[in-house]
Amino acid sequence: MFGIPSNMPSSAFDELWRLQQEVDELFGSWSSPLGIRSVPRGSFPAVNVGQTPERVDVYLFAPGIDPKSLEISMQQNLLTISGKRELKAGEEADYYRQERFGGEFRRVISLPEEVDPERVQAKYVDGIVQIGVQRRESARPRQIEIH
Amino acid sequence: MATNSEVTRRGSGAAAQQASGPAAQRTQATEAPIRPPVDIWEDKDGITLCADMPGVSKERLSLRVDGNNLIVEGQLQLELAQKAEALYADVRSSLYRRSFSLSGELETGKIEASLKDGVLTVRIPKRAELRPRKIEVQGS
């Protein structure tokens, strides 16, 4: 940790934790500070965010939900998504595995500051909630012509 | 449209955006398939499997029985704006894959599957003659 040699005894937990750090480092997330609203890896729903000079697109990997149950709101550049996922349970069934997430969820995503909270669109396709937010015109890169 | 694998690869950490060359190649080479979470339960007529595979359409889903194994694969596709670059990514691969070994009392020829909103449901019936029978105890 921190590159400081240590002779502290290490437990199995420490080893796992270090492995997690190494994985994070491998994927490049270690060098950057942790977002204050970020959630641990594996939280439901997973989120990807893509950007272009014109817009920011947020993808929530939320399969099998009723899109009407979703609440999506934006305050400045903070996007909040909450909802509930109800899992269909088999009647008189014996479970071997229950790995899928069920219940209520909430995620807050901090978008670039210059997004326009008035221009947001959302849709649900193949279990992915896609939320597109336009950037403010004034914040977009402009080509300056030379006369 | 950029391809999805491009974004999920680019999503391999913000560092991948700046770093081209060996680091970028490494993230591509290590694109491991996603292991979709599953629920599996059994009732008297068969086994049901539900798998979360968001972003997979019917056309990009493959379900096959190979010998004794049931193999589930799917290709994830996102609708991406042109020249999109990743700001953040939990999902860093575009392939789902998981396999399960079946057992002899299951009727692999009669497996039924459906895909809705990114959830795959597979129903594997038991052979009729092998469904559990309640055995009556004869009393005198």
Distance CA B55, CA B88 (A): 17
Indicate whether B135 belongs to any domain. Answer: no
Indicate whether B111 belongs to any domain. Answer: yes
Nearest to A46 among B85, B90, B119 (CB): B90
Residue A49 is predicted with a pLDDT of 93
Cβ burial of A130 (10 Å; 0-12, 13-18, 19+) is buried
Place of tokens 């326009």: A116
Shortest alpha-carbon distance between residue A132 and chain B (Å): 10
Shortest alpha-carbon distance between residue A3 and chain B (Å): 20
Tens digits of pLDDT across chain A (147 residues): 333 344 444 555 666 666 666 666 565 555 567 777 777 777 899 999 999 989 999 999 999 999 999 999 999 889 999 999 988 766 677 899 999 999 999 999 999 989 998 999 999 999 999 999 999 887 777 778 888
Q: Residue A73 in contact with residue B92, Cβ under 8 Å?
A: no
Indicate whether B113 belongs to any domain. Answer: yes
| Segments forming the whole domain that contains residue B38 | 4-128
Mean pLDDT of all residues in chain B? 80
Q: Which two tokens stand for residue B74?
A: 């799917």
Q: Per residue in B42-72, pLDDT tens?
A: 988 899 999 999 999 999 999 999 989 999 9
Provide, as residue numbers in chain B, all residues whose Cβ is less than 8 Å from the Cβ of A124.
117
Distance of CA B69 to the CA centre of its chain: 14
Indicate whether B137 belongs to any domain. Answer: no
Q: Which two tokens stand for residue A76?
A: 């400045």
Indicate whether B53 belongs to any domain. Answer: yes
Residue B37 is predicted with a pLDDT of 95
Instruction: Give residue B51's identity as a one-letter amino acid code.
Output: A
Indicate whether B88 belongs to any domain. Answer: yes
Asked whether the ipTM of the predicted complex exceeds the cut of 0.85, the reply is: no
Domain at B71, CATH number: 2.60.40.790
Q: Residue B35 in contact with residue B97, Cβ under 8 Å?
A: yes
Nearest to A50 among B40, B52, B87 (CB): B87
- Domains and their CATH numbers in chain A: 37-87+102-139 (2.60.40.790)
Number of domains into which chain B is organized: 1
DSSP bridge pairs for B48: B41, B123
